[in-house]
Amino acid sequence: MNKRSGYIFAAVTIIPGFLLVALFLIYPMLQMIYQSLFNVSSLLGSPSFAGLDNYKSLLGDENFIIAFKNTIFLTLLIPVAVPFISLVLSVLVTQTKLREKALYRVLFFFPSVLPMVSVGILWQFIYHPTIGVINSALNSLGLGNIAFAWLGDERFAMWAVVITIIWQAAGYLMVMDIAGIDRIPIELYESATLDGAGALRKFAAVTVPFLWEVVRMTIVFAIGIATNVGFILTAVMTAGGPGLSTTVLLQYMFTQAFQNSNFGYAMSIAVVVLLISFVISLISNKLTNREIIEY
């Protein structure tokens, strides 16, 4: 009896959330996959069925290949770099004897509360070829010959964006790590200290294994960051240039949809982004699948 009303209660609480997810996430996603099979290049006209033609065109589209490589680069690099850096930061602000720990927490987290576009503009000025902080510093150190136009040079533009993504996202994941670290019993560290373990050893033998579930979660988050934040920041900072050196798939999707009105084709690009995220999540899940330590 009680059980049945429990089910109903569960249903009532779950259904609204499920409906919202279905309406705003699952339905658009299915629509996206469906539309990618059509030549929807118009506003009002009826779309014609294209089968897999859009996907075939992708293979012969060298701009797509470039954007694909750039996206893969980000989705491989960011989910490794950002969770690692945020893990290190979280340990630094929880386990060291730094006096200004509280201040650093705020400082590291601060970029996450800034609007993304502001972050892009801010860093655009940091990298500014003549009045930017970086080049001004290099010039005053007499290193003017390596004061490049960071965002205007194909060799550096993507790396400049990567640094910005890390700066923007690391603090956010750091907070998750801190929450995890706070749950690790203090006795473990105490006994490790008694056993003569140094800071590094404690990090490797206690923190990382106990935090593993949280780290895995931050990796999945970082995959999302690589695709989404990567798009926003490149759109603001470089507009995908110079050349196509920082064009990511979402940027290319946007161009095809809203500059060329090729909505069907754009949807097929979106499907590829979905696949990339999915496959990389699977890979990261496989690679990080360890026995969970319960405590």
By beta-carbon proximity to other proteins, the closer residue of 79 and 264 is 264
Q: Toward other proteins, which CB reaches closer, 16 or 196?
A: 16
CB of 169 to other proteins, least distance (A): 23
Distance CA 220, CA 174 (A): 14
Q: Which residue's CB is nearer to other proteins, number 41 or number 168?
A: 41
Q: How far is the CB of 112 from other proteins (least distance, A)?
A: 24
Nearer to other proteins among residue 191 and residue 260 (C-beta): 260
Residues in touch with other proteins (CB under 8 A): 1, 4-5, 8-9, 11-12, 15-16, 19, 23, 39, 41-45, 57, 61, 63, 124, 127-130, 149-154, 237-244, 255-262, 265
Shortest gap between Cβ of 29 and other proteins (angstroms)?
Answer: 18
Residue (83 or 240) nearer to other proteins, CB: 240
In the complex, minimum distance from the CB of residue 11 to other proteins, in angstroms, rounded to a whole number: 7
Taking the least distance from each CB to other proteins, the nearer of 92 and 134 is: 134
Give the residue with the Cβ less far from other proteins, 134 or 274. 134
Kindly write down the DSSP assignment for every residue of the chain, as one continuous string.
-HHHHHHHHHHHHHHHHHHHHIIIIIHHHHHHHHHTTEE---SSSPPEE-TTHHHHHHHT-HHHHHHHHHHHHHHHHHHHHHHHHHHHHHHHHHHS--TTHHHHHHHHHHHHHS-HHHHHHHHHHHT-TTTSHHHHHHHHTT-GGG---GGGSTTTHHHHHHHHHHHHHHHHHHHHHHHHHHTS-HHHHHHHHHTT--HHHHIIIIIHHHHHHHHHHHHHHHHHHHHHHHHHHHHHHTTT-STTTT--HHHHHHHHHHTT--HHHHHHHHHHHHHHHHHHHHHHHHHT--PPPP-
> Shortest approach of other proteins to residue 42 CB, angstroms?
5
Q: What is the nearest approach in angstroms of other proteins to the Cβ of residue 69?
A: 15
In the complex, minimum distance from the CB of residue 141 to other proteins, in angstroms, rounded to a whole number: 18
Concatenating the DSSP letter of every residue in 196-262 gives T--HHHHIIIIIHHHHHHHHHHHHHHHHHHHHHHHHHHHHHHTTT-STTTT--HHHHHHHHHHTT--
Residue nearer to other proteins on the CB measure, 215 or 244: 244
Quote the least distance from Cβ 80 to other proteins, whole Å.
27
